[in-house]
Amino acid sequence: MIFDTKIAVILRDDLAVWQKLNVAAFLMGGIAGNAPQIIGEAYRDAAGHAYSSLPIQPLIILAADQALLSTIQHRALRRQVRVALYIEEMFGTNHDAANRAMFARFGPDNAKPVGLALRAERKLVDKITDGARMHT
């Protein structure tokens, strides 16, 4: 099935593995929170056990360096595409309120993005994420 929209998660390529996994999970939470219609129905196994719902569409995980991640952030802002953003400074906090307080101290010109996720029309996502490569 082809979807009209595309979900992309872009991670900074120099992060430790645990940081990449943590940031990707947080960012997808942000995408799902902003677009609850992407979450499907609960899963049930053959024994009747219920499992949590998953997104109804695939997503792409990309990698970029610090400069390109900032460029992608600016491209999205110029096109008024809402993104989920995780900045380096948030690694020093340990709960949601502290994350939001830290985030509020920075803007697009001085934040150090470590991960960004967006969901928009397919071609628009491709334009915004141009230059990022498949994460390996």
What is the CATH topology of the domain spanning 5-134? Answer: Bit1 (3.40.1490)
In angstroms, the CA 52 to CA 40 distance is 9
| pLDDT tens, residue by residue, 12-55 | 999 999 999 999 999 999 999 999 999 999 999 999 999 999 99
| pLDDT tens, residue by residue, 85-117 | 999 999 999 999 999 999 999 999 999 999 999
- DSSP state, 50? E
pTM of the model: 0.94
Interval 79-90 mean pLDDT: 97
C-alpha 22 chain-centroid distance? 11
